[in-house]
């Protein structure tokens, strides 16, 4: 079954893209815990992150590092927290979340309600830093 994230990869449903290469895509989470909350996925459909091929998994971490470095230049924060849950979407993904305190990465907390314009602006700003 095609996952919602594969549909994003194919451009069948919209997303606010941050970065992409042959193997990976980063885009803003639609229900963010913080401004700049980003998901990094492998383009290849794999449900469970620990079922990923070793090299693909290692490469995703390196790709995530580049994205995290760009996010932290745009969104003021102490650091970028990373989390892997995968309880909702069966397509491996890493959450990159700007955090200042423990509660900022509490997935049980209400999500932010950001408008399309604000998401687009955040994504554009991070993309701009990625391209530097």
In whole angstroms, what is the distance from residue 42 CA to residue 14 CA? 17
4 binds ligand 5GP (CB under 6 A): yes
85 binds ligand 5GP (CB under 6 A): yes
27 binds ligand 5GP (CB under 6 A): yes
CB nearer ligand 5GP, residue 50 or residue 132: 50
Within 8 A by CB and 6+ apart from 29, the residues are 37, 38, 39, 95
Near ligand 5GP in 37-76, by CB under 6 A: 39
Please provide the distance, in angstroms rounded to a whole number, between the alpha carbons at the two ends of the chain: 37
**What's the closest the beta carbon of residue 50 comes to ligand 5GP, in angstroms?**
14
Strand partners, 79: 99
CB nearer ligand 5GP, residue 17 or residue 66: 17
Dihedral sign from CA coordinates of 113, 105, 29, 122: positive
Interacting residues with ligand 5GP (CB under 6 A):
4, 15, 27-31, 39, 85-89, 93
């Amino acid at each position: 079954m095609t996952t919602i994230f594969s549909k994003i990869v194919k451009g069948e449903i919209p997303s606010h893209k941050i970065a992409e290469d042959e193997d990976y895509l980063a885009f803003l989470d639609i229900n963010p815990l913080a401004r700049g909350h980003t998901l990094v996925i492998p383009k290849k459909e794999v449900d469970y992150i620990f079922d990923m091929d070793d090299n693909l998994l290692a490469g995703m971490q390196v790709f995530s590092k580049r994205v995290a470095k760009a996010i932290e230049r745009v969104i003021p924060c102490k650091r970028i927290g990373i989390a892997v849950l995968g309880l909702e979407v069966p397509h491996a993904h890493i959450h990159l979340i700007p955090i200042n305190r423990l509660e900022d990465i509490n997935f049980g907390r209400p999500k932010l309600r950001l408008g399309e314009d604000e998401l687009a602006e955040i994504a554009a700003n991070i993309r701009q830093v990625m391209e530097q």
